[in-house]
Structures are given as C-alpha cells and as structure tokens.
Amino acid sequence: METARTSRPETFRTEIADGMRIEWDVPIVMDDGIVLRADVFRPIDNAPVPVILTYGPYAKGLPFQVGYPSAWEAMCRDHPDAVTNSTNKYQNWEVVDPEKWVPHGYACVRVDSRGTGRSPGYIDLFSARETRDYYDCIEWAGAQPWSNGRVGLNGISYYAMNQWHVASLNPPHLAAICPWEGAADFYRDGARQGGIRSTFWDNWYDMQVKTVQYGIGETGGRNPNTGQLICGDEQLTAQELAANRSDFGADLRAHRFADEFHAIRSAQWDRITIPVLSCGNWGGQGLHLRGNVEAFVRAASTRKWLEMHGHAHWPLFYTDYGVDLQMRFFDRYLKGANNGWEDRPAVQLQIRHVDATFEPRGEDAWPPPATEWTRRYLSSSLALSESVPVTGSVSYPALGDGVEFTTPPLDADVEVTGPLAAKLFVSSSTTDADLFLVVRVYSPSGSEIVFQGALDPHTPVAQGWLRASHRRLDPALSQPYRPYHPHDTTEPLEPGEVYELDIEILPTCLVIPAGYRIALQVRGSDYVYPGPSARLSNLKNDLTGCGPFLHNDDVDRPAGVFDGVTTVHIGEQYPSHLVLPVIPDARRGLRMA
C-alpha cells in the first residue's frame, strides 16, 4: 500500500552547465498516478538523440564520492582514466557519467526508484511494481521530443539486474541493454546460492537503501549541484518510513525455495529478444558472475554478446575500456551506426594470469567450443588424481573448514576457462549438510593465488555451493559441466546413507603455470582468506575472502541439522571428482582482433 504523500508534477529546473542541458527533478507519472523524479542530461541543441536510462534505489542526487568514498578513492588510484576528461560533478554510483556520454550524442536519464531519493512511494525491491515503473519510464523517455525513440539500459549491479526484468516485458521503445555485473536469477545468483541463504541482501538494504529512503530529510544530505535535499522535501516520521518499505530480509527468509517471489525478480529468458551485451566479472562469485553468463546462454535474442573481465566491481565500467565497449554497442543499436560491432566474436574474454594481468581472446560460444572437460578424482590421501583411486572416505565437522584435495605440481601450463562442476558422494550424520566448494591454486612456494574480486581483494579462483537436501536435478536444464537444481522442495538425508551430489561451481578463468597446484576444498562454511581482511565504507562486514556474500544465518542452518559430521566417499563405487574446463594449447595462442 502506498502510504507516502504523492508529489505534484510541478515545473522542474533547467540549466546549461558543463556543455549539457540539465533538467533536474523531472516528473514522470506512473500508471497508478504516483510521480517519480528523474534528472536528464542531454545536448544543448535539443536535437533528438538516443537515451541511456537507469532506474534504481541509490539516490540520483547522492554523489559517488560522498556516498561511496572508499570505492571512489580506489577507482581514482587504480584506474585514473575513469575520472579523466570529466569534472566528475555528476558522477553517481554505478551509472554512466553524463559528461562522457552527452558529448557523444546521448541523453542520460536517471530515475529515483519508487520510495527512494526524491521519488515517493513504497519500497518493494525488484518487484513487479518496480518493473512496471521501469517500463513506464522507458516509454516516457522514448516519447520525448529530444529523444530519437530508442532507449538503451546501462548500469552496474542493481541497474543491471532490473534490466533483465523490464526487458522481459518488451517495452516498445527499448532498443538494447548492457547489464554490467548483475544477477539474473534472483534465487540462484544471489538470494540462496545452492539453496543456502545469503545474508548479503539484509545488510545491503540497511546500508544502501534505507539510508536514501524518500522522506528522511536532512539525514540524507543535499545535492551539491542543486542544493536540494537528496531524499525529498518531506520529513516523514520513523513510523511512516517503516510503513513505506518492505522488510526485505524477512521476505527473503520466508521464501526458502525458488518460488514466485523469486520468479518475478528474475529474467524471463524466452521473452528477451532485443540486442544484449552482458558483462560479467571472473571475481564476482557472490552476485556478479553467474547471471551474466547464464543470461548470455539462455536469452532468446539472436543478437547477444558476452564479455568477461576481472578487476573490482565498479571501476572498469567507467574506464576508457568500459566506456568504449558500451558506446560501440549502443552506437550500433541506438544510432544505427555501421561500426563493425556485429563482426566481433560472440564471447569476448579477458584471459586472466596469476600475476593479475589479462589478455583478450574471442570465442564463438559459451562454454568455449574447444573445451576439454577434464576430470580429477578425489582420493582418501587428499590428492586430486587422473585415475579413480582405491575405495576410501574422508570425514570432517560439518560446519568447519573441511578437507582439501590437491593435484601434484603441474608439468606444463594449463588454462582453465569456463564453468566447473563437482560430483561428490556424501553422507551425513544428520538429516542435511551444506557443502561449500572452493577451487584454489597454489604457487610452488605454497602461497595461494587470489585476486581482486568484484568486491573482495582476496577472492579465490572459483566457488560453488549446495545444500544436500536440494540435490535433485532438473534433467532438462542440467549439463555435465553445469548442474541445475530446481530448489523447489527439501528431501532430507537418511543419516549414514550415501547420496550423489552434483554441484555447480561458478565459471572461472586462469592460465596456471607449470609447477603450480590446483586444489578443491570441500568445506562446511564460507571460505576465509588466510591473510588480512579489507573494508569498504558501504558494507557492514569486513572482507575476509567472500566479500559481503556470506551464508551465516543461524536460523537457516540450525543446530542439530547442519552441525554433524560430513563424509566424502571415494573409489570405483563412489567416483567423486572435479570437472575442469581445460583449454587446449592451440586455442590459448589466439587473441581477439
């Protein structure tokens, strides 16, 4: 129910500044009468141009530098080209910088989503109501006299995730989308990896959404460009604020399975037919990886591209590399430019090396067609071997650090690029068990190779998860290299009985030098980097290897069910193994044109 006072669509403010015509707080009326607010940055001459649009909850008037200071400082330090050729006065978290797009002949529209920033209403994140709002905003932008009628969507994370949702509705003016590091399957990609609840969304809601809710007054600060209150001109009471937002954490706890709650917050693949550039992060294992790859494979569009990169979550989007990639794509589909975009490979990979450098390579499909699916078998001696070992088993406390299986030193360089999987034969002393799988790589000196992930600076090579009671597969959607679980019911274990578990391990990319070792760690809790932690100002928890994507809800993992002993069974009867996507030497020599 909408309990906020609905704002009036009064005249908005217009100014000419920094080579742009800027319209602050433009009203957009939704189909139910509520008025959302947008900032519009466009060329001064009023000529019709294509539109880059975003709709989300991070407050269009909150400067990137103010709201996310540690992220801003890291981007300026590590990627200085991200902030050059701009005054950076209009930078906003996870959306395009208009000073780089307007001179190139685009209008940039930023909409405060319902209930946040300067838009009144009830916050119900990723809901059907939000998606309908987004649809209405696209159609509004496409019909403006300064628009050429073609709208593109571009942005990071939240601004990527909701692109999939609204594209499923096929707004007539929507011409192309570029989701940059954003989940697409709300259950599997973010809420409950492998069926195990992530507490990320609870903490994120507190830190990044409630802090910019419409009606919090001076607490939300003022836009330095306009002097306006960032979160609206009304001051609502604590009771009114609480009544104007869902209890997102409680909603997530209440929906244990992949039900309608998650479906309406996920892409509908068969309905997405417009051009797509899906950009994912090798280090985005908690939220910013699986959705981009899965979307590329399953979207119905015949004009779709996948780009995979490394580095932190936000900076590459703003760099010369990121802006050039996005502009070439949108120039083709929003301007009709014959710029050779469609001659590019369908899959554009940044191949990662152990020194955190990258080399570009194109592929025709995902997974790369030349992939050699390679098994390594677990043994009771804690080795990963080429042949099936003798029968045995290994047990560990079910909530502990588990056990690790390791290859001998590699006798040649090996490239592992693509999705991974594991088949484990497991028994539990209780009626359930959570398995956390971590693929690790060690140098000859024994140091673990970790990378700057999407958020955590010490991200391991790959991770996967599965709740044993969610082991049932969907045969129509499963592949040997990418198991797919329906997550629609619980099938408790019989204590002591052995069960076959197929576990999805999210894609990775790494050229592993000779002399290094590959390991599979089977754990009962989240990976923890054995070194110093880190911190970002917009997150509650320290970053200890998994970033904010932790599975530490005691209610979801109650004592007596998940704190027993887990046993991995091994041998000819129980051939537990890891599946690695090995790229042959001949393919590794190629580079993207």
**Residue 19: inside a domain, yes or no?**
yes
How far apart (Å, rounded) are the C-alpha atoms in residues 200 and 540? 9
List the strands of the sheet with 276-281, edge to edge.
13-17, 20-29, 35-42, 107-112, 49-56, 147-156, 174-180, 276-281, 304-309, 347-352, 358-363
**Residue 357: inside a domain, yes or no?**
no
**pLDDT, position 592:** 53
What's the CATH code of the domain at 170?
3.40.50.1820
**Residue 238: inside a domain, yes or no?**
yes
Cα radius of gyration (the chain): 24
The answer to whether residues 473 and 325 belong to one domain is no
The answer to whether residues 268 and 131 belong to one domain is yes
How far apart (Å, rounded) are the C-alpha atoms in residues 247 and 448? 40
3-class state of residue 442 by DSSP: strand
Q: Which of 339, 354, 380 is at the close of a domain?
A: 339
What's the CATH code of the domain at 439?
2.60.120.260
The answer to whether residues 289 and 378 belong to one domain is no
284: which 2 tokens?
Answer: 């985005």
In this structure, are residues 461 and 453 in contact, taking their beta carbons and an 8 Å threshold?
no
The answer to whether residues 77 and 131 belong to one domain is yes
The full length of the chain comes to: 593
Q: Which of 318, 339, 360 is at the close of a domain?
A: 339
The answer to whether residues 461 and 521 belong to one domain is yes
The answer to whether residues 314 and 407 belong to one domain is no
DSSP code per residue over 332-377: HHHS---SSGGGS-SEEEEEEBTTS-EEEEEESSSS-TT-EEEEEE
Query: What burial letters (b/e) apply to 323-348, b meaning 16+ CB within 10 Å?
Result: bebbbebbbbbbbeeeeebeebbebb
3-class state of residue 250 by DSSP: helix
What Cα–Cα distance (Å) separates residue 136 from each residue in 139, 147, 324? 5, 15, 29
Which residues, 6+ apart, have CB-to-CB distance to 195 below 8 Å? 465, 466, 467, 469, 470, 485, 487
429: alpha, beta or left? (left if phi > 0; alpha if psi -120 to 50) = alpha
**pLDDT, position 184:** 96
CA angle 576, 185, 374 (to 5 degrees): 30
The answer to whether residues 330 and 383 belong to one domain is no
User: What is the DSSP code (8-state) at residue 151?
Assistant: E
**Residue 277: inside a domain, yes or no?**
yes
**Residue 350: inside a domain, yes or no?**
no
**pLDDT, position 109:** 98
**Residue 46: inside a domain, yes or no?**
yes
User: What is the DSSP code (8-state) at residue 211?
Assistant: G
Taken in order 388, 392, 396, 399, is the CA torsion positive or negative? positive
**Residue 351: inside a domain, yes or no?**
no
Question: Exposed, middle or buried, 553 (CB in 10 Å: 0-12/13-18/19+)?
Answer: middle
List of E strands, 486-590: 499-512, 517-523, 565-570, 577-583
How far apart (Å, rounded) are the C-alpha atoms in residues 487 and 484? 9
The answer to whether residues 138 and 24 belong to one domain is yes
Task: Look at the block and give the residue holding tokens 């090798």.
Answer: 282
Query: What burial letters (b/e) apply to 525-539, b meaning 16+ CB within 10 Å?
Result: bbbebeeeebebebb
Q: Which of 339, 364, 396 is at the close of a domain?
A: 339
**Residue 5: inside a domain, yes or no?**
no
The answer to whether residues 311 and 422 belong to one domain is no
Model pTM?
0.95
**Which residue type occupies 567?**
T
The answer to whether residues 284 and 385 belong to one domain is no
What Cα–Cα distance (Å) separates residue 177 from each residue in 169, 304, 317, 430? 13, 10, 14, 46
Segments forming the whole domain that contains residue 417: 372-588
Per-residue pLDDT tens listing for the chain (593 residues): 343 344 455 668 999 999 999 999 999 999 999 999 999 999 999 999 999 999 999 999 999 999 999 999 999 999 999 999 999 999 999 999 999 999 999 999 999 999 999 999 999 999 999 999 999 999 999 999 999 999 999 999 999 999 999 999 999 999 999 999 999 999 999 999 999 999 999 999 999 999 999 999 999 999 999 999 999 999 999 999 999 999 999 999 999 999 999 999 999 999 999 999 999 999 999 999 999 999 999 999 999 999 999 999 999 999 999 999 999 999 999 999 999 999 999 999 999 999 999 999 999 999 999 999 999 999 999 999 999 999 999 999 999 999 999 999 999 999 999 999 999 999 999 999 999 999 999 999 999 999 999 999 999 999 999 999 999 999 999 999 999 999 999 999 999 999 999 999 999 999 999 999 999 999 999 999 998 889 888 888 999 999 999 999 999 999 999 999 999 999 999 999 999 999 998 666 566 54
The answer to whether residues 171 and 258 belong to one domain is yes
The answer to whether residues 388 and 529 belong to one domain is yes
How far apart (Å, rounded) are the C-alpha atoms in residues 521 and 525? 11
**pLDDT, position 585:** 87
- The number of distinct structural domains making up the chain is 2
